[in-house]
Amino acid sequence: MTNHTSRTVRELQLVSASGTGAQLAATLAPGATARIDQAVTQATPGLPPAKNVVIMQGGGVVGSGPVYPQNSRQALIALGASQALGRAGDLALVGLTDPVDTLHVGGGHAASSTRAVVVEPVRLQSADSLAGIAPQARLVGDRSDGAGTLLDVYELDLPGGVTGRIGLSVAFLKSPVTTPYPVEVYDWDLRAWHSLSLQPTAAPLTPGETAGGVVRVRVREDRPGQAVLTATSIP
């Protein structure tokens, strides 16, 4: 990892929308490069948001004014990460840095101190396990099945390098679900759809269903985008 900015980045960490994280580097000077190999662990959920935070140009987040006294640093990091995180499985690099300038209001300083955060979205290209970071499916197609419901197709991209078994968990935004929606997974080797046996935990997928690094799922539902499909590593 290389710091291409002109400012030192401190407490650099990897943050995900699903509540996972990894501390990457305590300090990374301008132009410095660090080799990092860290495990992703479950982070503390529900960080309180900072108050009076202004989003600045260039992806930085500058906070001024009062913040919650407890976990204010993590609250600022969480708020900064939210600018790059849109759904479960998204990742962002977040670090503290020196502000470009102090905020001014009406010609005067808004606060005695200013904090700044740099944020950079990250795409996961390779991972040996999905236990800490669970990719989420995207809706790629929908059409009417002629029976009053929609036939929706989702795809889920798996990063390279994943070893062991992969499971698929299914949830619906409409809760409770009054109709037992059938869920089918495509087998790329057999070129056929197979019904997925829904379980309280993630249902295991076959090698044919994960071939090529893409899981394709077909769901019948009342309207598009109601299914939430997530892949994870299972024992």
Whether pLDDT at 199 is above 80: no
Q: Compute the distance between CA of residue 206 and CA of residue 1 in angstroms, rounded to an integer.
A: 35
Question: Stretch 161-180: mean pLDDT, rounded?
Answer: 76
Question: With bands split at pLDDT 50, 70 and 90, how would you rate the model's confidence at 168?
Answer: very high
Residues 24/116, Cβ–Cβ less than 8 Å: no
Q: Compute the distance between CA of residue 97 and CA of residue 118 in angstroms, rounded to an integer.
A: 7
Whether pLDDT at 132 is above 70: no
Specify which residues 140 forms β-bridges with: none
**Angle CA 191–217–170, to nearest 5:** 145
| Residue 112 confidence (pLDDT) | 59
| Residue 45 confidence (pLDDT) | 40
Structural domains of the chain in order of their starting residue, each with its CATH number? 9-122 (no CATH), 138-234 (2.60.120)
| Residue 52 confidence (pLDDT) | 39
N-term to C-term CA, the chain: 31
Question: Stretch 37-51: mean pLDDT, rounded?
Answer: 52
Of 70, 71, 18, nearest to 41 by C-alpha is: 18
